Amino acid sequence: MSKTLELTQQLIARRSLTPMDDGCLDILGARLAPLEFSLERMRCSEVDNLWARRGDSAPVICFAGHTDVVPTGPVNRWDSDPFTPTVRDGMLYGRGASDMKGSLAAFITAIEKFVAEFPQHRGSIALLLTSDEEGVAVDGTVRVVEALQERDERLDYCIVGEPTSVSKTGDTIKNGRRGSLSGTLIVKGVQGHIAYPHLVKNPIHMAAPAIADLAATVWDEGNEYFPPTSWQISNIRGGTGATNVVPGTVEILFNFRHSTASTPDSLKARVHAILDKHGLDYELAWEMSGKPYLTPRGDLVEAVSDAIRTVQGIEAELSTSGGTSDGRFIADICPQVLEVGPLNATIHKINECVAVADLDALSEIYYLTLRKLLA
């Protein structure tokens, strides 16, 4: 049994449903301590975090990830217990196998191999681990980043072990993510009896032209790495439930997934301008849940791409698709952040799994990246 498979199985056996860690960080810390890592536990509310570092000089390469997993869903629909790691036909089954306990194990075995070969390596190796990525993500990575900022501790490179691959491990590198900007819009009218339209102002009717205008707006053209910014409505709520009453207000929930070609402030200003143009009486509250970040081609992209080419014999594609990740927080203290991990085909699903062979391949990719940057 490979060391990476064995460690992955140990982690899967822990019922670390978000935000619980259930001892995963203890297992990982026990592997890092003999390698002369300093281990700093940061518990915030119910969330366990670990900042581990070996060395005190630059460049600093950090591996980042989470020990928490999403709920299993109906256990009786799994072919084996989701917290009993099971190998069948070359696949390892269990909750968190691909998201992302396999990556955590690969981090550790890659670091162990590298330190054994290069005990006096240049720079520093760090790990930023949390149990709050699958949940609200308030007391996890963001808190560790805040602590590092307060003491002016910065990173040069970061690899997040999110499952990024599509058809073969290593085929896709996430070199950025779109920002997520949400709005809660309340358009005000005058409630009244539907039979007396001259005595009411229907906020749904009033909002409709503005909605059409917003939906037709080209916010930007994107750029080399990002698709164009999109604006989408997720919910519309209005009315009293009666068929003969015009509502006094309508609430519209919407979201921007935006590229680095637009800023949150520019998007907000354009939305307000459109609403004002249509003469609406409204309230609008904004929530920024994720800033966009981008790592262009450079040292880290080159190192990871070379490693994937060597191990897997494929050319990795750079992508910024998908939702958000904790990389959005780490980008505040690190100029180069990439996400590189196993296949994402079964994440959050019944019978989540990862190919056993992919665990060793992933460990070797991380190891060769360390060699390229720190040896």
Q: Is 302 among the residues known to form the active site?
A: no
Contact 228, 262 (CB under 8 A): no
Amino acid, res. 190: V
In degrees, rounded to 5, the angle at the alpha carbon of residue 47 between the alpha carbons of residues 15 and 108 is 65
Which is nearest to 206 in space by CA: 223, 224, 187, 227? 187
**Rounded Cα–Cα distance for residues 250 and 258 (Å):** 25
pLDDT of residue 247 exceeding 90: yes
pLDDT tens, 313-357? Answer: 999 999 998 877 899 999 999 999 999 999 999 999 999 999 999
Q: Token pair of 188, please?
A: 């005000």
pLDDT tens, 266-279? Answer: 999 999 999 999 99
Which is nearest to 37 in space by CA: 52, 27, 24? 52
* Residue 8 pLDDT class (50, 70, 90 cuts): very high
Q: Which residue among 133, 139, 358, 364 is the active-site one?
A: 133
Contact 98, 161 (CB under 8 A): no
Q: Is 68 among the residues known to form the active site?
A: yes
Q: Which residue among 22, 68, 132, 364 is the active-site one?
A: 68
pLDDT of residue 100 exceeding 90: yes
Which pLDDT does position 71 carry in this prediction? 97
Phi, psi of 98 (to 5 degrees): -105, -20
Q: Token pair of 136, please?
A: 């609200």
pLDDT tens, 281-301? Answer: 999 999 998 888 999 999 999
Which pLDDT does position 136 carry in this prediction? 86
The residue with tokens 């952040």 is 337
